[in-house]
Structure 1
């Protein structure tokens, strides 16, 4: 059985049209449609009439709770099917795609995502300011969350999956983008994206608000904190910043108070900062059981960091001396490249036991 979960909030004008389109698309399939409704208008009465006419359609009305994410989770819990789909009620998600999504699931996909950002598709259903908000939100999530980067439309509210993808998820929902939480916490190996045209809204106005945008940022933060593979990068950067402070303090002491030459003060302060960074990484960035001796990990870390310094200087030289880029900008790019080298190499060599591979 296929269970389709549709959160609704004041969508009475859309329900009859959506019902007939779903019935036309899934004729002959074993399916159920669960509306999880938070409406304050006449939508519950419309849903009740649909349920009386078509037994495969049912609704759950909530009086004291709001939020799309919690509505979807309640729908998951009430669903009978082993294949679950989620879509909006405003007709921006075309029900006609359900059969194509189901075909991919039947061919072995764990998760199928219609995407507005593949070739031949688009988001013309959004106004220009909503497009800017959506693009910014997508960029934030893809920068912050590793597993989210591997799909082109992580902000979608339209997807289909096998029930086992959700097994054991510790839900911490907030706001309206439940798909991000599934991508970060779900159990899947095969994701298929298909192009689709995001349709214009039919009936009521958008539910988007500044509050929902703030909730989205809170949701991203929560997902980063709860995901070791995403939290690790931010800890790595924070430790790196602490190393800069340690370097400056030690240099000032050695040069201004202890009387070291600038060269020796610079060398010693860099070594102390590198050692401080290693200890913090070994304790916080890559916690847990360690393989091998700490001294061996330290030597690996120093070697990688030394090569990173070389990469920084080489990038600075090439961009500034050969291509005429502003030296500050060239150095900033060099630092970014070296940071990527340091994080990647330490992940796969110094603390390789902490890696967790996810294939999508």
Structure 2
């Protein structure tokens, strides 16, 4: 492989998942690129050359020299990124990004858009399940005034090729659930699960994205300033090469995403933005803390109750609290602060976060013990009620200090 400058991998953007108003290095917004199409990949070695060839053929005819294809690969073990990079001499509109510190389709799309130079941003799967010819219909709808154009399986000309009854049921069930939880977003389109669309840069510029799983369209509509939406029908194809990425985990992430969007874009989210407080994270932190309450209470009972070990209250509480701290760290690292921990992989980074979390929570444990004893000895002569009050006070302390110390975006490479 040659080492020409045109073959150098794109630098992976860092920091918040936010699209700039103007492309990188173009403060006036007078770039010549119309469309930037991102192709997120993971283990698509057998498909990547074919899709690049097909897309290039279509776009060279429709908008010659006025587009770019951006492959964003999550460090595939089959070296998809390397295969894509080797294609650059033959396809000068192709650019390649290799992500080694982050994972996930939605964030891959946004990172690709952050490096893009086009005024229209798009996404298409790298497995040829999205028919490339529909791309020109979407582009035409954007040119005629739409802020967002998506390919839908549920309008004229749309459908699925050979899905099982169970998969059809899950897909429709997910859509109905979304309409219940987030009607203002999912009610605007017929296929909110689509991962094949285009959007004007201006419609999402400045909005901080916070995606979960695969469904980036929810994030775009929910957080962007999207006016007119247009749709074009397409038939979802079965893949011919590679392996499917759809598992039960994607459905769980979809539900998490709906709830997160509901909280962050609703009244609580507006209040949170006004007071500059991460309310969504605090709610998740609180739910994790609630699970820790059961752990704490169970261990406290086993150690302090006269029918079990009968240890004194203070010693029992310290041990119970430390066990709960370990439980809470695992959940917070995997869920509450996943946006940071996913970018700080490895045991060394995780141990570092746990050490900080433990120090902060041990200080919180001191506060907890003091409040417990004060409430128990002077206010409520019930160790469990006193413990609940103490936990509530310590939770506020733990969240705020851990937010500023243990999971810091500035630690991201």
Instruction: Flag whether TM exceeds 0.5 (same fold).
Output: yes
Q: Helix, strand or coil for the counterpart of 2:83?
A: helix
1:27 deviates by: 1.3
Q: How does 1:315-326 map to 2 (within 5 A)?
A: none
Q: Is residue 141 of structure 2 the alignment partner of residue 104 of structure 1?
A: yes
Determine which of 222, 236, 256 is the counterpart of 1:198: 236
Determine which of 120, 128, 143 is the counterpart of 2:165: 128
1:229 deviates by: 6.3
Determine which of 32, 54, 57 is the counterpart of 2:68: 32
Q: Distance in 2 between matches of 1:221 and 1:14?
A: 34
Residues 154-213 of structure 1: CA deviation (Å, up to 9, x unaligned) = 000000111011112121111110100111111121100111111121211211122222
Whether the aligned pair in 2 keeps the contact of 1:143 and 1:149 (CA below 8 Å) is no
Whether the aligned pair in 2 keeps the contact of 1:3 and 1:85 (CA below 8 Å) is yes
Runs of 4+ in 1 over 6 A off after TM superposition: 229-232
Q: Helix, strand or coil for the counterpart of 2:46?
A: coil
TM-score (norm 1): 0.62
Aligned match of 2:104: 67
Whether the aligned pair in 2 keeps the contact of 1:92 and 1:125 (CA below 8 Å) is no
Q: Is residue 249 of structure 2 the alignment partner of residue 207 of structure 1?
A: no
Q: Helix, strand or coil for the counterpart of 2:166?
A: helix
Distance 1:147 1:229, change over 3 A: farther
> Structure 1: which 5+ residue stretches go unaligned?
233-360
Q: Distance in 2 between matches of 1:228 and 1:172?
A: 15
Whether the aligned pair in 1 keeps the contact of 2:219 and 2:261 (CA below 8 Å) is yes
1:132 deviates by: 2.0
Q: Helix, strand or coil for the counterpart of 1:52?
A: coil
Aligned match of 1:180: 218
Aligned match of 1:78: 115
Q: How does 1:1-360 map to 2 (within 5 A)?
A: 1-28=34-61, 29=63, 30-38=66-74, 39-145=76-182, 146-228=184-266
Pair member with larger Rg: 1
Q: Distance in 2 between matches of 1:99 and 1:120?
A: 15
Aligned match of 1:332: none
Whether the aligned pair in 2 keeps the contact of 1:144 and 1:230 (CA below 8 Å) is no
1:66 deviates by: 1.0
1:125 deviates by: 4.9
Whether the aligned pair in 1 keeps the contact of 2:138 and 2:231 (CA below 8 Å) is no
Residues 219-257 of structure 1: CA deviation (Å, up to 9, x unaligned) = 11100101126989xxxxxxxxxxxxxxxxxxxxxxxxx
Q: Distance in 1 between matches of 2:217 and 2:170?
A: 17
Q: Distance in 2 between matches of 1:212 and 1:43?
A: 22
1:65 deviates by: 1.6
1:114 deviates by: 1.0
Whether the aligned pair in 2 keeps the contact of 1:7 and 1:72 (CA below 8 Å) is yes
Q: Helix, strand or coil for the counterpart of 1:46?
A: helix
1:8 deviates by: 0.1
1:45 deviates by: 2.1
Q: Helix, strand or coil for the counterpart of 1:119?
A: coil
Aligned residues: 232
- Report which stretch shifted further, 125-134 or 76-85: 125-134
Distance 1:156 1:229, change over 3 A: farther
Distance 1:224 1:13, change over 3 A: same
Distance 1:230 1:192, change over 3 A: farther
Q: Distance in 2 between matches of 1:13 and 1:129?
A: 28
> Structure 2: which 5+ residue stretches go unaligned?
1-33, 271-413
Q: Distance in 2 between matches of 1:205 and 1:126?
A: 15
Whether the aligned pair in 1 keeps the contact of 2:150 and 2:198 (CA below 8 Å) is yes
Distance 1:40 1:57, change over 3 A: same
